[in-house]
Structure formats: C-alpha cells, structure tokens
Amino acid sequence: MLAELLASPGVREESVLRSTFGFMAFHGGSLEEMTDVIAAEAAARSGSSYYGLLQPDDLQWHIPSHKLSPTDSALMQAFIDHVDVVITVHGFGRQALFTSLLLGGRNRELAEHTGEFLRSRLPAYDIRTDLESIPSDLRGQHVSNPVNLPRNQGVQIELPPRVRGSSPMWWDWEGPGHTPHTEALITGLADAAAAWAR
C-alpha cells in the first residue's frame, strides 16, 4: 500500500537525520493537517530526526499505520534504522475527546515522560497516558505500526483539531506564527525530546 501511495502524484517524503530520537508524521499534508508541521518543528528545535509523508490537497488516502511498511520506502527504512525511539504525530477527532491528547505506542516510559512535559504546557487539555483510557484503535500497539519499529519503540500521539489550530475556535487567528496551543504543543514535544537524551 505504501508503494502505491508513493506513486501517487504530489505525494512526497521528507527526512532529516539528526539524533537517535525521532519524530514522524506519515499521515501528513492534507490528510491529518498540521501533523507534519508539528513533527518537523519539534524535531528541529530539539535536534531530533524527522520523517514525514505528505499528501497533496487533492488526495486524502488514509492507510492504517500498521500497513505502512518501511520495506516500501528507502527513506522510511533509513529513518527507522537510525533512531532508537520515536514519537509519531497523528490527528483525530471524536466526540467528547476534542480536548484530549492520546499517548499510545509501546514505549510507556517515554509516554509518561512526554505526558509530563505536555501537561505543564497545555494545562487546559486532558493528556492521556493510561492505555485503558485511550480507545483501543488509537493505542498504537500493533507490532507492525512504525511507532513500534525502532529499537526502543515509541509513542503514538493523537492530536485533536483544536491543538493543531484547525478547529472553529481559531478561525479568526491571524498570527503571527502558530496558534498559542499549537506553539505550546511543539515546545512541549521539543523539550520532552531534548530531556530524554540518555
């Protein structure tokens, strides 16, 4: 499936290899808006590595994470081989969860670590690190999910529209820069990555 997506007009990959901490946004571009921007900026600010898979405005093809195999992408495979841990950035929207950030993935220590930094930056949001409080299909536990492929696996973070700056509450936002919530999110993720170095 990834090979088919990559062959679609306008689809592009981005990759920057820095430290062995990584950020990914493989549902980026028009699909889960702002996820690639958030991942790329958090990576740049923390000196972390970054991989993005971006879809153009006229395409919104959602391939389940566990079906996106790095064997179909040399750039993704090189990224996975390079990093020890990763945070994959996703977007979602569900009734009653519009102020909830869901931290799944198999590296639960990193999830708790990241959650602490996000809670201090985004006190108005519900930062969930308890897997039982996260809908089962958003927990990022599948062994083939890219979040779990690096040596020490990682955290899948699901972001509602509001914190990505794409909800009605931000329609009159003119900047400069990102909305305050998005800026706080990026800062929290970057600080968590920088503090994880060990």
User: CA-to-CA distance for 13 and 25, rounded, in angstroms?
Assistant: 10
Task: Tell me if residue 122 falls in helix, strand or coil.
Answer: coil
Residue range 109-144, pLDDT digits in tens: 999 999 999 999 999 999 999 999 999 999 999 999
Q: What backbone torsions phi and psi does residue 179 show, to the nearest 5 degrees?
A: -60, 155
Domains and CATH numbers, the chain: 2-196 (3.40.630.100)
pLDDT tens-digit map of 59-98: 999 999 999 999 999 999 999 999 999 999 999 999 899 9
